[in-house]
């Protein structure tokens, strides 16, 4: 009776199953990568917008806007009435309890702060609030006007403009100006509930437009000749404005008050930032060279604070004090097609919209520098413009018509430049790569440059490989070619057993046991790190000087005991002399010396800890594969080399290493891939500080650690969520390139040394 399956059929079936399984694995991996990458694709999509809707026509609208849900549009008419076109359930609201004369001008600021001035000079400031009540599953929305202050009486005049803003305490600053350009400023004290008029200097005459910063730290004034002036509040001192050469039509502060947008008459749009500055006084006897400026003894200079205060705060030869910020144009955005008439800031991001004389509206983001949308909304000029509270639409008025449009713009702050190139952020003195995903206020701007994460990954990998690569490769060569059998039976199982230690255990030990002890004995460790290699070379040289007969009488492997003894002695000497050296040369505090003299700040969880911990995890991977590759070299070749008079060392270096080079290279690349993708060790031992610094005394944040830390808190579909998926895609790309390079170079080496 013939068997159901012959041996040939079995082989064919096994081949099909193996190939199918391998193909399925490849397809699953490709599917995972596509799924991860698809989550990052929306970051680079352009904004989309719906059709223009005519909400109302006729009347005399001054301002218009929407509730947070975009269910209701409100309109402020010149008679002081807020109406809700198309919403039958809403009653009209009056912004003043008593009847007022006709409104001359009105303005809407960030977070829905409305300000209006009548022909008689009465100023009203407040907010339109929407609230929901529920009756079972039915939602009922109501609106009410909430005054932010008592009415302000400025007196009759030819009023043409008004604006106001507030700080966190409810204090207000109102600016109103007449057709002749004279400006009036008044401040509302929320605690004392009173108005106080400010004495405006003569340089604030000829005013065409005013914008007040959120937080009331500054106001921007466009005067008759089109020049832009910025003044501090409450001193009204003028601060310098750098980089603006064109005549300005309109300006507006964005959320937070540290960013100013200026639209010029030629259509250009400029973004200005308040650059922090420091006053440096040289109290020493030698010239100081900081920030490109030379300051002689007894002299002082004002420079941009590019982390100078952090780096040199403990210097005894200088005195640092704050100086007024300098408003600097840091980027020019895509131009408009006509003169700007209105700038509308967003209440949530550093975004803004600009309306123009030709009825077009352009949507921008100040940090990414992107013009997200630019389209014609109306036939006539844009009279007022407001971005909806959630940024998903906008409302405008033009020639007595109220228009609205939906906007799909989920990730305006992301561009290739903000992800991979240095960006000049608000509050910084220069362009920087910054990763800072969360903050403590609504005005915080997420900074999602992935370069600090890439740099941190490469830095952690560099220090881990510097520690592990020489030890693992040398150990593999020694154990496979030079060590006696009894030592091989001890070392090889121990190193291979290291691979079974969980990463979280290694990270725990590195962070909570190694890091404090390293901090306490930093100088001794550095002395030992420099002295140990030299002592090993010296010990081997002394060993070679011993008589050959004496070395032959000693048992095999005794040289390793000599090296261990020398290493232990060097470590003991380093620990003994570290204290006297620290007291004699470093003032008794080596870490303080590093900071005050060299500007190097020591963090407890730093690159040394990461290099040791991550290297401990990488050594077994490299050692195992490298040792197998060296042991796979045919013994016949090794014996032939020894028979021809070559020593064990000559045989290992000139025969075994070239023959095993494909395997050695594969071991290095696999260890490199393990170091790049490691999460728990760098998460626990690196300090998670996204710094661009190769110093061994501070930490880093790697791509894998950032994903592990931030993905649980990232809103699904949000910008941070998708940037983390992009980071995961880049991490996969790195490991894929490493494995591909390993395969290509390994193939070349196998062909190169095929004769072995």
Q: What pLDDT, in 10s, does the model give residues 310-328?
A: 677 667 778 888 888 899 9
Q: Which residue is it, tokens 């977070």?
A: 111
CA angle 302, 307, 310 (to 5 degrees): 105
- 755 pLDDT above the threshold of 60: no
Q: Which two tokens stand for residue 605?
A: 């969880």
Confidence of residue 604 (pLDDT cuts 50, 70, 90): confident
- 222 pLDDT above the threshold of 70: yes
Q: What pLDDT, in 10s, does the model give residues 653-708?
A: 888 888 888 888 888 888 888 888 888 888 888 888 888 888 888 888 999 999 99
Q: What is the mean pLDDT of residues 297-307?
A: 82
Q: Please state whether beta strands 384-387 and 393-398 pair in parallel, antiparallel, or not at all (unpaired).
A: antiparallel
* Cα dihedral sign, 384-388-394-399: negative
CA angle 432, 433, 436 (to 5 degrees): 110
- 185 pLDDT above the threshold of 80: yes
- 117 pLDDT above the threshold of 90: yes
> CATH top-level class for 52-408?
mainly beta
- 262 pLDDT above the threshold of 90: yes
- 516 pLDDT above the threshold of 60: yes
Domain ranges across the chain: 52-408, 451-693+700-752
- 5 pLDDT above the threshold of 70: no
Most confident of 156-170, 552-566, 641-655: 156-170
Q: Which residue is it, tokens 């008044």?
A: 186
Q: What is the mean pLDDT of residues 610-620?
A: 91
Percent of the chain whose pLDDT exceeds 90: 33
- pLDDT at residue 756, as a whole number: 52
CATH superfamily, domain 451-693+700-752, is MetI-like (1.10.3720.10)
- 4 pLDDT above the threshold of 70: no
Phi-psi region of 11 (alpha: psi -120 to 50; beta: other; left: phi over 0): alpha
- Which carries the bigger pLDDT value, residue 534 or residue 610? 610
Taking the C-alpha atoms of residue 254 and residue 214, their distance in angstroms, rounded to an integer, is 8
CB 102 within 8 A of CB 118: yes
- 440 pLDDT above the threshold of 70: no
- Which carries the bigger pLDDT value, residue 358 or residue 88? 358
3-state SS of 448-477 is ECCHHHHHHHHHHHHHHHHHHHHHHHHHHH
What is the separation of C-alpha 301 from the centre of its chain, rounded to a whole number of angstroms? Answer: 31
Q: What is the mean pLDDT of residues 433-452?
A: 84
- pLDDT at residue 113, as a whole number: 92
Q: Please state whether beta strands 269-282 and 259-264 pair in parallel, antiparallel, or not at all (unpaired).
A: antiparallel
| Phi, psi (rounded to 5 degrees) for 425 | -90, 160
Q: Which two tokens stand for residue 356?
A: 């123009």
- pLDDT at residue 97, as a whole number: 61
Give 292-324 as a DSSP string: TEEE-TT-EEEEE-SSHHHHSTT-TTEEEEEEE
Most confident of 176-190, 309-323, 486-500, 542-556: 176-190
CB 722 within 8 A of CB 39: yes
- 176 pLDDT above the threshold of 90: yes
Q: What is the mean pLDDT of residues 540-548?
A: 76
Confidence of residue 2 (pLDDT cuts 50, 70, 90): low
Q: What pLDDT, in 10s, does the model give residues 37-66?
A: 899 999 988 889 999 999 888 888 999 999
**Exposed (0-12), middle (13-18) or buried (19+): which is 739, by Cβ within 10 Å?**
middle
Q: Please state whether beta strands 218-223 and 228-232 pair in parallel, antiparallel, or not at all (unpaired).
A: antiparallel
- pLDDT at residue 330, as a whole number: 92
Q: What is the mean pLDDT of residues 114-143?
A: 89
What are the C-alpha distances in Å from 462 to residues 528, 671, 702?
A: 21, 11, 12
**Exposed (0-12), middle (13-18) or buried (19+): which is 432, by Cβ within 10 Å?**
middle
H helices of 546-633, where? 548-553, 558-585, 590-598, 607-631
Q: Which two tokens stand for residue 29?
A: 């991996």
Return the minimum-mean-pLDDT range out of 233-237, 622-626, 736-740: 736-740
Q: What pLDDT, in 10s, does the model give residues 517-536?
A: 888 888 888 888 888 888 87
Return the minimum-mean-pLDDT range out of 146-155, 256-265, 299-308, 435-444: 435-444
Q: Centre a 10 Å sphere on the Cβ of residue 612 and count the other Cβ atoms it contains.
A: 22
The alpha carbon torsion through 422, 424, 429, 434 (nearest 10 deg) reads: -50
Confidence of residue 99 (pLDDT cuts 50, 70, 90): low
- 385 pLDDT above the threshold of 90: yes
Q: What pLDDT, in 10s, does the model give residues 548-559?
A: 777 777 776 677
Q: Centre a 10 Å sphere on the Cβ of residue 402 and count the other Cβ atoms it contains.
A: 26
Return the minimum-mean-pLDDT range out of 274-283, 453-462, 483-492, 678-687: 483-492
* Segment (H or E) for 56: strand 53-57
- pLDDT at residue 98, as a whole number: 63
- Which carries the bigger pLDDT value, residue 543 or residue 227? 227
- pLDDT at residue 492, as a whole number: 86
Confidence of residue 373 (pLDDT cuts 50, 70, 90): very high
Q: What is the mean pLDDT of residues 476-480?
A: 88
Q: What is the mean pLDDT of residues 224-228?
A: 87
How high does pLDDT run on average in the chain? 87
Taking the C-alpha atoms of residue 114 and residue 567, their distance in angstroms, rounded to an integer, is 75
- 345 pLDDT above the threshold of 60: yes
- pLDDT at residue 203, as a whole number: 66
- pLDDT at residue 105, as a whole number: 92
Return the minimum-mean-pLDDT range out of 71-80, 244-253, 356-365, 593-602: 593-602
Fill in the DSSP letter of residue 480: I
Q: What pLDDT, in 10s, does the model give residues 728-750?
A: 999 988 888 888 887 788 777 77
């Amino acid at each position: 009776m013939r068997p159901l399956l012959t041996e040939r059929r079995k082989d064919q079936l096994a081949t099909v199953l193996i190939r199918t399984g391998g193909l399925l694995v490849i397809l699953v991996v490709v599917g995972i990568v596509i799924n991860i990458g698809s989550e990052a694709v929306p970051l680079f999509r352009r904004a989309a917008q719906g059709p223009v809707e005519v909400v109302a026509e006729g009347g005399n609208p001054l301002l218009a806007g929407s509730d947070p849900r975009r269910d209701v549009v409100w309109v402020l008419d010149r008679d002081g009435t807020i109406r809700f076109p198309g919403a039958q359930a809403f009653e009209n609201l009056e912004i003043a309890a008593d009847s007022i004369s006709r409104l001359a001008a009105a303005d809407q600021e960030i977070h829905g702060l409305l300000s209006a001035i009548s022909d008689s000079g009465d100023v009203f400031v407040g907010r339109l609030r929407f609230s929901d009540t529920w009756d079972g599953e039915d939602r009922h929305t109501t609106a009410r006007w909430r005054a932010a202050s008592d009415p302000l009486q400025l007196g009759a005049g030819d009023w043409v403009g008004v604006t106001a803003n507030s700080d966190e305490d409810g204090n207000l600053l109102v600016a109103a100006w007449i057709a002749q350009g004279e400006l009036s400023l008044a401040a509302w004290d929320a605690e004392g509930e009173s108005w106080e008029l400010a004495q405006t200097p003569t340089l604030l005459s000829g005013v065409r437009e005013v914008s007040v910063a959120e937080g009331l730290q500054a106001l921007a004034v466009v005067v008759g000749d089109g020049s832009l002036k910025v003044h501090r509040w409450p001193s009204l001192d003028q601060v310098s404005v750098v980089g603006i050469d064109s005549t300005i039509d309109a300006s507006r502060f964005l959320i937070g008050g540290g960013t100013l947008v200026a639209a010029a008459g030629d259509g250009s749009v400029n973004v200005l930032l308040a650059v922090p500055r420091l006053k440096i006084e040289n109290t020493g006897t030698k010239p100081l060279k900081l920030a490109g400026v030379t300051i002689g003894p007894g002299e002082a200079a004002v420079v941009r604070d590019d982390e100078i205060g952090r780096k040199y705060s403990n210097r005894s030869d200088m005195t640092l004090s704050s100086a007024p910020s300098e408003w600097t144009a840091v980027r020019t955005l895509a131009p408009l097609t006509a003169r700007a008439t209105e700038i509308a800031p967003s209440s949530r991001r550093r975004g803004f919209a600009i309306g123009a004389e030709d009825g077009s509206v352009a949507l921008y983001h100040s940090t990414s520098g992107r013009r997200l949308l630019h389209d014609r909304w109306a036939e006539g000029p844009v009279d007022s413009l407001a971005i909806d509270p959630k940024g998903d639409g906008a409302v405008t008025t033009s020639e007595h018509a109220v228009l609205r449009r939906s906007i799909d713009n989920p990730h305006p702050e992301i561009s290739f430049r903000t992800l991979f190139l240095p960006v000049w952020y608000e509050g910084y003195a220069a362009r920087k790569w910054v990763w800072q995903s969360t903050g403590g206020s609504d005005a915080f701007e997420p900074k999602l440059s992935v370069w600090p994460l890439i740099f941190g990954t490469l830095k952690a990998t560099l220090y881990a490989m510097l520690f592990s690569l020489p030890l693992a490769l040398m150990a593999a060569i020694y154990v496979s070619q030079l060590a006696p059998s009894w030592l091989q039976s001890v070392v090889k199982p121990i190193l291979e057993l290291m691979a079974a230690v969980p990463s979280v255990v290694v990270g725990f030990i590195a962070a909570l046991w190694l890091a404090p002890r390293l901090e306490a004995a930093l100088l001794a460790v550095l002395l030992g790190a420099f002295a140990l290699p030299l002592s090993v070379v010296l010990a081997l040289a002394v060993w070679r000087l011993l008589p050959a007969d004496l070395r032959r009488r000693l048992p095999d492997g005794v040289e390793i005991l000599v090296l261990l003894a020398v290493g232990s002695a060097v470590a003991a000497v380093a620990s003994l002399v570290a204290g006297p050296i620290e007291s004699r040369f470093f003032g008794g505090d080596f870490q303080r010396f590093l900071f005050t003299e060299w500007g190097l700040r020591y963090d407890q969880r730093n690159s040394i800890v990461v290099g040791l911990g991550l290297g401990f995890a990488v050594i077994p991977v490299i050692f195992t594969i490298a040792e197998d590759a060296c042991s796979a070299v045919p013994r016949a070749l090794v014996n032939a080399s020894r028979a021809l008079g070559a020593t064990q060392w000559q045989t290992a270096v000139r025969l075994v290493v070239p023959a095993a080079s494909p395997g050695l290279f594969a071991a290095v690349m696999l260890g490199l891939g393990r170091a790049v993708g490691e999460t728990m060790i760098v998460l626990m031992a690196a300090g998670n500080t996204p710094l661009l610094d190769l110093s061994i005394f501070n930490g880093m944040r790697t791509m894998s650690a950032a994903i592990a830390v931030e993905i649980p808190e990232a809103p699904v579909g949000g910008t941070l969520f998708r940037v983390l998926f992009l980071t995961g895609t880049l991490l996969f790309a790195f490991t894929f390139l490493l494995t591909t390079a390993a395969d290509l170079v390994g193939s070349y080496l196998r062909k190169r040394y095929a004769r072995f």
